[in-house]
Structure 1
Amino acid sequence: MPIAEDPEPRPRRGDEPDGSDPSGTGEKDPFADLVLDEEFIRSATVKEQSGRTRMLSARWKHTPPVDPGGRRSVNDGARPKRRFGRGPKPPAVDAWGAPHPRRREWRAPLFVTLTVVLVLAALNLGGLRDWYEDHYGRGSSSPSGAAVPTVAPETARPTAAPPATPADQPTVDHPWKGSPAEGWPTSLESFELPPAKAVGVFSAEEVAAQLQSVKAYLTAANLDPGVIAGARPEAALAMLDSQERASAVAALDHPGKGTDPTSWFARFDPREAALVGGAVKVQGRIGFEEDGDRGVLVHTDFTFVYPLQPGPDAEKLASSRRGTPDTAPGGTARPVGLTAPASGNTGSTWTTRTIIRKVDDFRFHDPQRYKVEAKKLVFAKTQWDAGNSACDVYDGFLHPRFEQFPAHGPAPTGPTSDPYDRSKDLAPTGQCGIVSRT
């Protein structure tokens, strides 16, 4: 293709025909009618490279360029399609043959999983809160949605009963609904021992050991899951003085009105009632003083709240109870097999609670003046009261009433009382009373 290298017009010599023959031969200039329009330029088969392109080509013959990464050029071809949630997969090698490092695609699956979890939690906030309440209890919410305050173990006698709570029906999933004990300490958390000091003939270290032995007995007698399920309280029996142990064994073997083992140990017939979740709410205090005879008196005052679900024979046993002692002939305790609670109980199954308050004094005699068994417990005084347990049944077990079953047996005749009220002394009347709430 002809290229006009001189932009200036050629000089005229006067002998060009029509002024178009630069050679003077009289022939017409072949470029006279040439028009450099857009169509002419696009149809050109040879295109001159720019000066920068020629310069870079000469440089790259000796020093190839280095890929900075993350950039695309016109020579990379069409942009690859994006995969769902991730960027385009990088090629195995770059434009100069160097291998690309492979990135591990872990972030996108993680983000997708977290998103799904957050969406599910948002759709079921109530269920998530209920799960936390049932497993951890403290810091939960009441049925009305208000936060239940956490109640610390007592350091002194309270001045009033706990405030009223909504009378909501407790269930397997929500065993503490309607109970002021919902914010109470759970199990051993309530047994806070006071600082030990020397009392009477005992040193501070000996008093501390005595407090620990009382705590261990309260745990074995009232919080052991096996004992609650009706098993024989062997660990608690082993901690008692020989005379005390003999009395407790007699009550277990021959329960009756005057020898009721439930005044010693918290026991339920597993065919009738089973503990829900394994947690027991406890509130109370421990103190000690000199007994006036160079010994030590340890005072304990605790309320235990047991959430219970029906056992496999709960309705049948309730209907068969007619107010007579449920014992075998001769006053021997009825044998109980190792039957498990009904496995079909669901989260909506109605439950109930039995509340037991025990006020005990444990005496540690001066071993120089009295014949004592080392590290064994002796009761100086004991009082107890059970709320929501069948009246006049002395078979060695507590018998809670479930609202879903018809009431059977003798009706309570004693005064109405609040089993959660710890501001008053425990004064048993000898009558089976009515509880204002469970």
Structure 2
Amino acid sequence: MGWDYEDPNGGTQSSAARIASGAVGIVVAAGLAVLVLRPELMPWRDAGDTTPLAAETGRPSAAPSEEAFPDRPTLREPFKGSPALRWADGAAGIEPPAARATGWMSKAQVEDALKRTKEFLVAANLDPAVIKGGKPDAALKLIDPKQPEVRADLEKSLAKPTEANDPTSLFTRFSPKEVRPAGTVVKTRGRMTVEAGTGKDAGNVVIRTDYTFVYPVVKAAPGSDEVARTIVRRTLVVALPDPEEFEVTKGRLSLWEWNSDLANSACDVFDGFLHPQFDSDLMADPDAAPVGPEQDPYDRSKDLGASSQECGTVSRT
């Protein structure tokens, strides 16, 4: 799914928003393993390395290793059994590269653009009010009004979401009637690059981002303590056109393209929210188990555009 916008100065701006492999649920076999061998009753077992990872500077060569019997998440430790346990907390995981003069922009201008790009990612994916279903006003305000179609389409998607225009393609929101965050931490990992545009992007400075966010949640009902995790990977291309050649608004961002992969979120519901599935849901209704190609949502070694367009299952959450 995607949209192309005619640039008022000529050319086309491509803003492709894809919900790839909107995978739901936890593989049933993993749930059975937990019922047979409870990790907390295996004192000889290594609980796993919790040493924080160094910042990601390039595409990983492989997915993180998987534990045979991963720990189950709890309200106190919602990232137990997940590679995200070693990831940075929230905005600390979004580390812009060192600024340098690039294209038409000075070092100071690049530094400001990187800062604003981080602000957008935080506002779109880490703002507690947005995660709880609120409108991402701070993120929307960062979009250049000279890109009116982009802002208008996003506003429309928030007001009346559809399969073709769903705000979860760019913003992370859960329905407060359905779930609430398990704690205050979202784990984050990824990278950001900046370069002078070439070819169709000539005249622009281009910032590319690729981040994965891990959200632990519990059901909204009072007293709920079963933790599920939804993993969201997003790529975003931000363009900074040369104001000598294009009409732009200082201090704003032009969103050129975005893609997303949503793991453990219903892929057949388009109401503007993510909908995680819990182990208890599968126990209550085994027929609700997802089907389709299996993917590892923690595998950042593959290009997001290469992901399956089908709904599928996740190998772990």
Matches within 5 A, 1:364-403: 364-403=240-279
* Residues paired across the two proteins, number: 263
What stretches of structure 1 move > 6 A for 4+ residues in a row?
none
**Equivalent in the alignment of 2:6:** none
1:205 matches 2:108: yes
Shift in Å, 1:296: 0.4
**TM-score, scaled relative to structure 2:** 0.79
- Where 1:307 maps in the other structure, the secondary structure is strand
C-alpha separation in 2, matches of 1:402 and 1:266: 18
1:149 corresponds to which of 51, 54, 78: 51
2 CA distance for matches of 1:376 and 1:161? 35
Cα distance change on mapping 1:227 and 1:408 into 2, 3 Å: farther
1:253 maps to what in 2?
159
Structure 1 pair 415–295 and aligned structure 2 pair: CA distance change class (3 A): same
* Alpha-carbon spacing, 1:259–1:410, altered in 2? closer, same or farther (3 Å): farther
C-alpha separation in 1, matches of 2:46 and 2:125: 31
Which structure would you say has the larger Rg?
1
Residue 301 (structure 1) aligns with: 210
The code of the aligned residue for 2:204 comes to G
What amino acid maps onto 1:398 in structure 2?
L
Q: Which amino acid aligns with 1:367?
A: P
**How much has 1:415 moved relative to structure 2?**
1.3
**Separation in 2 of the partners of 1:200 and 1:301?**
22
Q: Report what 2:178 is aligned to.
A: 272
Change in Cα spacing, 1:160 to 1:203, as seen in structure 2 (3 Å) is same
Who is 1:282 aligned against? 188
Matches of 1:223 and 1:205 in 2, distance apart? 26
Q: Following the alignment from structure 2 to structure 1, what is the Cα–Cα distance between the partners of residues 86 and 64?
A: 11
State the shift of 1:412 in Å: 3.6
Q: Report if aligned partners of 1:230, 1:397 keep a CA contact under 8 Å in 2.
A: yes
Matched AA of 1:380:
W
Amino acid at match of 2:300: R
Would you say 1:177 and 2:56 are equivalent positions? no
1:421 aligns with 2:299: yes
Secondary structure at 2:280 match in 1: coil
Secondary structure of 1:421's partner? Answer: coil
Whole-Å separation in 1 of the counterparts to 2:263 and 2:167: 16
Higher RCO (CA < 8 A, seq sep 6+): 2
Identity rate, percent: 43
TM-score, length basis structure 1: 0.58
Deviation at 1:391, TM superposition (A): 2.3
Query: What is the CA-CA distance between 1:408 and the residue it aligns to?
Result: 8.3
| Counterpart AA for 1:296 | V
* Superposed displacement of residue 146, structure 1: 4.2
Q: 1:371 to 1:397 in 2, by over 3 A?
A: same
Q: Secondary structure at the match of 1:404?
A: helix
1:270 CA displacement = 0.9
Write the deviation string for residues 315-341 of structure 1: whole angstroms up to 9, x where unpaired: xxxxxxxxxxxxxxxxxxxxxxxxxxx
Deviation at 1:174, TM superposition (A): 2.3
Q: 2:66 aligns with which of 164, 182, 185?
A: 164
* CA-CA distance at 1:189 after TM superposition: 1.2
Q: Structure 1 residue 428: deviation in Å?
A: 3.8
Query: Whole-Å Cα distance in 1 between the matches of residues 64 and 268 of structure 2?
Result: 29
Structure with the largest fraction of strand = 2
Q: Deviation at 1:167? A: 2.9
1:234 & 1:408 partners in 2: Cα distance?
Answer: 39
Compute the displacement of 1:147 (Å): 3.7
Contact 1:390 / 1:409 at 8 angstroms: preserved in 2?
Answer: no
Q: Deviations over 1:125-183 (max 9, x none)?
A: xxxxxxxxxxxxxxxxxx83344221122011111110112333212122112111101
Distance between the aligned counterparts of 1:399 and 1:417, measured in 2?
18
d(CA) in 1 for partners of 2:205 and 2:179?
Answer: 38
1:396 Cα deviation (Å)? 0.5
Q: Is the 8 A contact 1:390 1:399 kept in 2?
A: yes
1:91-146 deviations in Å (ceiling 9; x for gaps)? xxxxxxxxxxxxxxxxxxxxxxxxxxxxxxxxxxxxxxxxxxxxxxxxxxxx8334
Unmatched 5+ stretches in structure 2: 1-44
